[in-house]
A and B are shown apart, each in its own frame.
Chain A
Amino acid sequence: MTSERTRGTTARTTTADRVVQSVCPYCAVGCGQRVYVKDEKVVQIEGDPDSPISRGRLCPKGSASEQLVNAPGRQTEVLYRAPRATEWQRLDLDTAVDMVTDRFLESRRNGWQDTDDQGRLLRRTMGIASLGGATLDNEENYLIKKLFTAAGAIQIENQARI
């Protein structure tokens, strides 16, 4: 005998509102993922059988992608640590971006070099550096490189050299 609930069993992949094709964010194999969304929440991420690269398969990390998105420890609010402070404090996003903008411009100015000691053009700042991961999109890296270069910041690096 089966219960009513058992008789109504269905997969949450079936009842999802939509399925979105994506790519695993861990290693560089580039496995296809299907992201199932219900009520604007990710309810399942699994391998995309259509992908000629991965044929629907994922490793343990790829299989844990849903938990990466919905992780219990994920931080979704801005935090700020003031000089000498022993704890974080909350800050709203807009204020934080304004503060970062101010500091960016000030440090850019402080580290500015117009020319080298032989008078050759440098047009750069040594006051700002950046180190990026390699889970950033090409479009993101493009804007980062474009903005930093225009600002004269050259110490821009990423995981590829680590």
Chain B
Amino acid sequence: MGQLAGPTDPAADAHWEHQHPRKGFFTDTSICIGCKACEVACKEWNQNPQDGDLQLLESSYDNTGALGASTWRHVAFVEQDGERIEEARESGRALVSLGMPRVGPPEARAAAEPGDSTPPDTPEFRWLMSSDVCKHCTHAGCLDVCPTGALFRTEHGTVVVQDDICNGCGTCVAGCPFGVIERRTDGTAAPRTEREGRPGSEPAVPNVGVAQKCTLCYDRMVDDQTPACAQTCPTTSIKYGDHDDMVDQARQRVAEMHAQGRTEARLYGANELDGVGGTGSVFLLLDEPEVYGLPPDPRVPTADLPRMYRRAGLAAAGMLAAAAVAFVGGRS
């Protein structure tokens, strides 16, 4: 049985015999150009079907809406005025002065020259863009509650659904504090005209009824290839690598931006003391998480289990047995 809360190495915790460094993303939204290449590259690689209804979503340039069974990368677009920018800058600055562990090393801040802190030049308006993805939590709610063992912790510390095992029960959907995982329906909008009999017509939607989410391109990762979204990202807003490096880079980048006066920058998911033990996918945001549709204080449902055991140890036994299935066995 692995640890249910707090800092840990999730792959070791899942009893993998051969250690691989934990892999993850660092999404730096300050250099995202909102091109959505990540969305397309992801769908193309994973052969996920079109799932939009081909109408404007009424949300700036975002016509995707949210992560879901067939959308594993989603770019949010947020338009803000000057007042909101000032608030974000203030709240970000407050995070630093509170000494929150999620913000960069003190030495980097000290290195910045005092005269350096000119804020950016267009303060009256901004357009935030941010590519969201599965967080691959250190303590993953979806995985913890999966009764079939379809969800498993990979040797790289990521969380992946095994399509061939999932029975579509949907327990994981409620278990995710980020609302990432979903069951796939076949209600995708078809192209407007009849396309039967045409060469190359699209195959039927795969994995209908089964829980689906980002695998961090597990199939590419096992062959030492970069996940499709990170490989395609034109500006390296999406970075992929060893989780520790990603967190380091993220901290440095925040410190650098604060030194430039852009105190609105802050990290998301890099705090291993948070309700999911930190995430495998970390983000640099330019405002409060809610602004991007992210929960400010995500908690994995099982985080409270230790406390619950003390109160009602026996009641948890059944759940433990189910969860344990997911952790047995190793891969060499």
Contacts and interface: CB of A to CB of B under 8 A. Distances in A.
Chains A and B share a contact (CB less than 8 Å):
yes
Contact of B201 (A9, A60, A72): A72
A59 B202 CA distance: 23
Chain A interface bracket (under 10, 10 to 19, 20 to 34, 35 or more) = 35 or more
Interface string B195-223: 10011111000000000000001111011
B232 A47 contact: yes
Given A10-B219, A10-B223, A73 B198 contact: yes
A70 B220 CA distance: 22
B152 A60 contact: no
Contacts of A47: 231-232
B115 interface: no
Given A47-B231, A59-B234, 10 more contacts: A2-B162, A3-B162, A9-B219, A11-B225, A57-B233, A60-B36, A64-B44, A67-B44, A72-B195, A73-B193
B147 to A, nearest CB: 13
A32 interface: no
A2 B329 contact: yes
Contacts of B191: 72-73
Contacts of B223: 10-11, 13-14
B200 A62 contact: no
Contacts of B328: 1
A74 B198 contact: yes
B165 interface: yes
Interface of B: 35-37, 39-41, 44-45, 149, 152, 160, 162, 164-165, 191, 193, 195, 198-202, 217-220, 222-223, 225, 228, 231-234, 325-326, 328-329, 331
Nearest to B218: A9
Interface in A44-63: 44, 46-47, 49, 56-63
Contacts of A62: 37, 232
A2 B218 CA distance: 13
Given A72-B191, A72-B202, A73-B191, A2 B152 contact: yes
A1 B40 contact: no
B225 A1 contact: no
Contacts, number: 102
B232 A58 contact: yes
Nearest to B225: A11
Contact of A72 (B35, B200, B218, B233): B200
A160 interface: no
A16 to B, nearest CB: 11
B44 to A, nearest CB: 6
B200 A6 contact: no
B200 A46 contact: no
Contact of A71 (B36, B162, B200, B325): B200
Nearest to B234: A57
Given A64-B40, A67-B44, A73-B191, A56 B152 contact: no
A11 B215 CA distance: 13
Nearest to B161: A6
Nearest to A41: B200
B232 A46 contact: yes
B323 to A, nearest CB: 12
Contacts of A90: none
26 contacts: A1-B325, A2-B331, A5-B162, A6-B152, A6-B164, A11-B219, A11-B220, A13-B223, A44-B44, A57-B37, A57-B231, A57-B234, A58-B37, A58-B41, A60-B37, A63-B41, A63-B232, A64-B40, A66-B44, A72-B191, A72-B195, A72-B200, A72-B201, A73-B198, A75-B198, A76-B198
Given A5-B164, A11-B225, A46-B231, A59 B35 contact: yes
